[in-house]
Structure formats: structure tokens, C-alpha cells
Chains A and B, each alone.
Chain A
Amino acid sequence: MNLPSANSLIAQLAATIKPTLTSNTVLVGMHTGGVWAAEHLHPLLDGNMPHGSLDISFYRDDFERIGLHAQVKPTRLPFEVEGRDILLVDDVLYTGRSVRAAMNALFDYGRPAKIRLAVLIDRVGDRQLPIAADFVGAALHVPGHQHIHLVRDGDLQLDLKLVDIS
């Protein structure tokens, strides 16, 4: 399967999102791929927009089965969540469980006025929760035995990669 270029998807997302921004909008990337994507989106949207990062490890629903994620990253939200228009960014929307966890986490910081979701890839066909993205770079069908990840080469270059599930 040929994957689209991550950077072209980000540019395309930025063009779609930009007209919808308000002075109340803040950008929140979900660790880890979503943070990278948000970092690349940020200068293309509005370099002065408040932005932060969210780790959902403490809100996952699979803790009982697989324990705590090995690499918990600190959540950084250097702005009031209460009343804000949050643009949540992730690399891939798959089952919807990560987005559910992210929304629960955000509400523990305050009550946002609005949460919208932007993803580079909408992996269609395997959603487990009633969640959809507001902004989608590309919609793809990916075989069940594969995962799709955003990878970073150095500080700047992002690429999408298919990985076989062992």
C-alpha cells in the first residue's frame, strides 16, 4: 500500500482548519504522533496560538490488561482549558478509544467550550466507539494485521509507516 506523505497531509489539514480558527482556539497534540503532527501544524495555522500536549496513558481502558504504558510523557497544557475551543490532533484515528481517553483527560482540566478532532489518517472500518474526526488528512483501509504509525526522522521530517503486528 502506498501511503501519502505526512507533510502534504499536514499542509492540506492546515489549509482546511485555518479558516475555522478563532482567538479562543488552542492546539493540543496527543502523544506521541499527535504531538509531532501538532508541532508541524502550529506554524502553518497561527504561530501564536497556545498549544500543548496530552498523554492519555492514565485514562486508557486497557490498563487492566496491559498495565501502564512504558513511556508516559508529561501532559503540558499551559493555558486554561475551561471555555476554550480545543483542536485535538492525533496521527491516526482507529478504534476511537484513544480519543475517548483524551476527552476524559481534557475534562479533568476544565470544561472546554468545544473539542474538535484533526487526524492525519482516518483508519476506516474498525471504529469501536461513536467518534469521528472533524478534519481528516486521508481516509484509508488498512489490513487488520497491520498498524499505521507516524515516525519522525530527526526534528523535522515526518513519515507514515505500516507495521506488521507480531
Chain B
Amino acid sequence: MTINPQLNADGSLRHLLTIDGLPRAILTHILDTAEGFISVSEQEVKKVPLLRGKAIFNLFFEPSTRTRTTFEIAAKRLSADVINLNINASSQSKGETLLDTVDNLAAMQADMFVVRHAQSGAAHMIARHVAPHIHVVNAGDGRHAHPTQGLLDVFTIRKYKGEFHNLRVAIVGDVLHSRVARSQIHALTTLGVPEVRVIAPKTLLPVGVEQMGVHVYHDMLQGLKDVDVVIMLRLQNERMRGARLPSSQEYFKYYGLTQEKLALARPDAIVMHPGPMNRGVEIDSSVADGKQSVILPQVTYGIAVRMAVMSILAGN
């Protein structure tokens, strides 16, 4: 029995559920493999035959057009058969029904499940349940993890900055509710980024976040000073109406990224955002569309990274 449920007995990757606990060598292997897949999108025929004949089920218990689409494109560029299932979680009786669904799809000769679920741990539960030949990719579970997003973010950073060992990276915004932030932090620290900062009001930071190896700032003007990478997090407008924040205007004033605040970072700093963006809430349009923004390349690279993950899993 292996300690990490993501790994086979020989240490190779069987599922991708979280970046937490994955060795640097596996992350680097995924990033290196993704480099090779970038050229596939430049081909006349944007497909390679690696996963021909494989059936990949996108199980989305929570709506997400962007993530589902990029997984679908990635799988299709690998020549897999892709089946998209948008499942309304409220109609499920949780746990048992989820596994019943999985069992039925496995009986349809599924080779891989890409799972998005509002409950943390859903992908882990499926991974523990499925037959050995079936692979599971977590496409976001609750507040827990979104490992392919974390990987595409570090891939983007490597494309623009080359190395990790000399970088200062700031993650700004709603860390508390963000599975993306957790995966980003694990990926960045595993790959050797020496200084990862989180910048957020106290109400949007998880208790004990320092134990993840990050430096905490509540003042954006201090936190952005001399950073190489600024990662903005999405802030859902409905959360604004809760007690954690007074208003979107006030949030933008203190934690929204403007050209003036970005000027505190290094002149060659890049700006990232996992999308979809709330313009005028967490990021100003002039920054989102500005020359330091790499938000759209992130989307492009996300396809190559997901192709790498799926092909590595299928090959193991």
C-alpha cells in the first residue's frame, strides 16, 4: 500500500488529486512534458494520437465552463473520446450516489475521470474507489485543491521567468476560499520559489496560513514591493455582501490591482489571474489588458499542461 494515494507503488503518478505532497521531480516532469505539447497547437492538425481509443469522462458536479472546456480541448487534442457530464449536485444524495454514478461510468469502459465538485475530497473518494486502470484528475474540489490550475500557473511563470529559485511571488486576494491559491502555494514552494507572499485582509486568510511557508501581508503597498510575479485571485461578488468585506468599492481601493500599485513591483513583473476576472473589483482593466498581463497565455498554457497530465497518467 502506498502512502500517497496519488502515486503507484513505483512512485509514478496514478491520479492527480492535489499538489500537496508531490515531489518536485513529478512537477518538473509535468512541466517539461507540457513544453512538448505547446507545439501541438501550432500544427495544421492540432491532434496527436497518444490517447486514441481512451474514454475520458468530465464529471462536473459544479458549473465551470472554462475549466471544463480546457480539459475537453486537451483530451481531444490527445485523440481521446470525451464525454461531458454536468451533474447537478443538489439532485444527488451525496456519497453513495456519487459512487454509483462513477460505477456506472466505469462500466462504460471509462479510462479517466476529470472531476469538479463543490465538496473537498470528492476526487480523493473517487480515486480510492475506482479500479486500478482508471485515473482520476481533480479539476477543483471545494476549497481544497485545483492542481492543474496550480501547475499551469507555475508553467506560465517558468515560461516568462525561466527559473524559480530567485523569484518573489505575491498571491493577492481571497485566499480563504481559494482552492487555486492552495495549489499555487504548494506548487511554488515545492519548485523552490524562495519567497511566496500572500496579500489579503485578515478576514480572507485561513488561520495558520504561515505554516504553508508563505509571508503574510495585509497591506498591498508593502506586499507588492519588488515582486516578480503578481497572482490575483478571483473574488466572488456575492461574498462581498457577507460580513467579510464592506463593499466591492472598498475592496478594490485596498486590494484591487491598479497600474499605480503594480508600479511597486519589479518593472518586468508579470500579472496573472486564474479567471474569470472581476474587472474593477480585484483588477483594473488597464492592468488586465496591459503589457505586463499574461492572463490569456495562462489559458493557452493550461491546455498544454492538462495534455501533459492526462498523457502521463494514462502512460503510467
A63-B50, A68-B50, A68-B312 known; A108-B44 Cβ under 8 A: yes
Determine the chain B residues whose CB is within 8 A of the CB of A66 once the complex forms: 315
A59 and B39 form a contact (CB under 8 A): no
Total number of A-B contacts with CB less than 8 angstroms? 52
A70-B29, A104-B49 known; A58-B36 Cβ under 8 A: yes
B44 and A81 form a contact (CB under 8 A): yes
Within 8 A of A (CB), among B11-52: 29, 32-33, 35-40, 43-45, 47-50
Within 8 A of A (CB), among B73-129: none
Q: Select from chain A the residue with minimum beta-carbon distance to B35.
A: A74
B316 within 8 A of A: yes
A82 to B45, CA, bound (A): 12
A72 within 8 A of B: yes
28 A-B interface contacts by CB (under 8 A): A58-B36, A58-B37, A58-B40, A58-B48, A58-B49, A58-B50, A59-B48, A59-B49, A63-B315, A67-B312, A67-B316, A68-B33, A68-B311, A68-B315, A71-B32, A72-B33, A73-B36, A74-B35, A74-B38, A75-B39, A77-B39, A81-B44, A82-B44, A108-B43, A108-B45, A108-B47, A109-B43, A109-B45
A127 within 8 A of B: no
Determine the chain A residues whose CB is within 8 A of the CB of B45 once the complex forms: 107-109
Determine the chain B residues whose CB is within 8 A of the CB of A67 once the complex forms: 312, 314-316
Q: Select from chain B the residue with minimum beta-carbon distance to A80.
A: B44
The list of the 10 closest CB pairs from A to B, nearest first, reads A67-B315, A72-B36, A58-B48, A108-B45, A68-B315, A75-B39, A108-B43, A110-B44, A109-B43, A72-B33
Q: Select from chain A the residue with minimum beta-carbon distance to B29.
A: A70
Taking the closest CB of chain B, its distance from the CB of A64, in whole angstroms, is 8
Binary flags per residue of A23-64, CB closer than 8 Å to B gives 1, else 0:
000000000000000000000000000000001011100010
Given contacts A67-B312, A77-B39, 15 further A-B contacts (CB under 8 A): A55-B36, A58-B311, A59-B49, A63-B50, A66-B315, A67-B314, A68-B312, A70-B29, A73-B36, A74-B39, A75-B36, A75-B39, A81-B44, A108-B43, A109-B44
- Chain A's interface size range is 20 to 34
A116 within 8 A of B: no
Q: Select from chain A the residue with minimum beta-carbon distance to B49.
A: A59
Taking the closest CB of chain B, its distance from the CB of A55, in whole angstroms, is 6
Taking the closest CB of chain A, its distance from the CB of B39, in whole angstroms, is 4
Q: Quick one: which of A72, A75, A105 contacts B32, CB cutoff 8 A?
A: A72
Taking the closest CB of chain B, its distance from the CB of A9, in whole angstroms, is 29
Determine the chain A residues whose CB is within 8 A of the CB of B312 once the complex forms: 67-68
Determine the chain B residues whose CB is within 8 A of the CB of A72 once the complex forms: 32-33, 35-36
Within 8 A of A (CB), among B204-232: none
A76 within 8 A of B: yes
Q: Select from chain A the residue with minimum beta-carbon distance to B79.
A: A58
Residue in A58, A72, A76, A82 whose Cβ sees the most chain B Cβ within 10 Å: A58
Binary flags per residue of B272-316, CB closer than 8 Å to A gives 1, else 0:
000000000000000000000000000000000000000110111
A107 to B316, CA, bound (A): 28
Within 8 A of B (CB), among A103-155: 104-105, 107-110
